[in-house]
Amino acid sequence: MTDHDDFDQEPIRGLPELLPEGEEILWQGSPDWWALTKASLSVRGVALYFGLLFGWQTVSAAADVPWATALAQSSFYLVLGAVTCAILAAIGWCQAKAAIYTITNRRVILRIGAALTMTLQFPFRWIAAADLTTQKDGTGTIALRTLGETRFSYLMIWPHLRPWRFTPTQPALRAIPKAAEVARLLAEAAQADLSMPQVTSTPVAPTPDTGAMPVPAE
């Protein structure tokens, strides 16, 4: 049996291909797994729900049996709650481990998906705005409001999006550490890129060699 890594084919970690000349990585990171689990899977709410079930069942049973017996009978809800929270934590860990967010001096790249991996790329000219939300521990989410008619399936890119925004969905760098610093870097990079003039080239038809200098048309 040999080890296999689904991302061995990446020329650069988190990127589907080598960056073109002049483009460089400014920042790269992944979600904080516990912050992502709390934000996207509501693990604390689930734990509270099972805790309330345990308390309610214990009080109800204590009316007919001793408290020790009531606690023992109701402990099923604590076990079920612990198993459920463990499953949610495992899902959050897998999603965070599989995700790599990249900011270059030209675009934002999201490699996401624990089961079905995909790469989303957003040149700065496609981004109308970026909205930052932060938590007390410094983690936060940077949601991208994109231009044009591009739409993304909510379920396809979950949890790497702004919650409860369906039309249109907003892809996001979710639960990242030091989110305010990353947002500042993103804003500076986008401003610098968009202020650069766009240079295009137009091919010129070859001029027959007559031995004389070509004269521009009036």
pLDDT digit string, tens, across residues 108-160: 999 999 888 899 999 999 999 999 999 999 999 999 998 876 678 888 899 99
- For 163-204, write each residue's pLDDT tens digit: 988 888 999 999 999 999 999 999 999 999 877 655 544 455
The CA distance from 42 to 126, in Å, is 31
Please report, for the chain, the start and end positions of each structural domain, with discontinuous segments joined by +.
37-95, 104-194
Q: Which amino acid is at 198?
A: Q
Could you list the beta-strand ranges (E) of 25-86: 25-29
Q: What is the largest CA-CA distance in the chain?
A: 112
Cα 147 from Cα 150, distance rounded (Å): 7
Mean pLDDT taken over the chain: 85
The tokens for 65 are: 């049996």
Q: Contact, 78 vs 54, CB < 8 A?
A: yes
Please state whether beta strands 127-134 and 118-123 pair in parallel, antiparallel, or not at all (unpaired): unpaired
Q: Distance between CA 76 and CA 204 in Å, rounded?
A: 79
Strand stretches in 99-210, DSSP E = 100-104, 107-112, 118-123, 127-134, 140-146, 172-176
- Burial class of residue 102 (count of CB atoms within 10 Å of its CB; 0-12, 13-18, 19+): buried
Q: Compute the distance between CA of residue 88 and CA of residue 42 in angstroms, rounded to an integer.
A: 9
Tell me how crowded residue 76 is: count the other CB atoms within 10 A of its CB.
13
C-alpha 49: how far from chain center? 28
For the question of whether the overall pTM of this predicted structure is more than 0.85, the answer is no
Q: Under a CB-based contact definition with an 8 Å cutoff, are residues 33 and 91 in contact? A: no
